């Protein structure tokens, strides 16, 4: 956050660091190919972004009250899996 704030006064709105999260998600979803269709893939991609990064960890610690790192990882993995299963179920149900 400090780096982002320090980058703003001169009007420079260039990202401070590259957005790797979506590239990681795209790579993880690659084996699905076109299985979800464009809208389903986009929805899943965006939803999975909620399970990665510092925001997810902060939510697990501050909002959910989890302290154990293994429990946090297990919960976020479960959430990502639930999103994937739901996306597949929804797409297969629409066929």
Query: What is the domain partition of the chain in residue ranges?
Result: 20-93
Residue 12 has pLDDT above 80, yes or no: no
Q: Look at residue 15 and tell me whether its pLDDT is greater than 90.
A: no
Percent of the chain surpassing pLDDT 70: 81
Query: Do residues 56 and 50 make contact, with C-beta atoms less than 8 angstroms apart?
Result: yes
| pLDDT at residue 11 tops 70 | no
Pairwise CA distance, residues 72 & 37, whole Å: 31
Q: Is the pLDDT of residue 71 over 90?
A: yes
Put simply, whether the predicted model's pTM sits higher than 0.85 gets the answer no
Provide Rg for the chain, Cα atoms: 17
Asked if residue 14 has pLDDT above 70, the reply is no
């Amino acid at each position: 956050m400090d780096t982002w704030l320090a980058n703003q006064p001169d009007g420079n709105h260039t990202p401070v660091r590259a957005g790797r999260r979506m590239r990681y998600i795209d790579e993880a979803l690659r084996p699905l190919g076109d299985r979800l269709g464009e809208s389903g893939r986009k929805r899943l991609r965006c939803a999975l972004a909620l399970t990665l990064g510092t925001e997810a960890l902060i939510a697990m610690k501050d909002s959910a009250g989890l302290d154990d790192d293994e429990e946090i990882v297990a919960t976020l993995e479960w959430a990502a899996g639930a999103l994937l299963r739901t996306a597949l179920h929804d797409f297969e149900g629409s066929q």
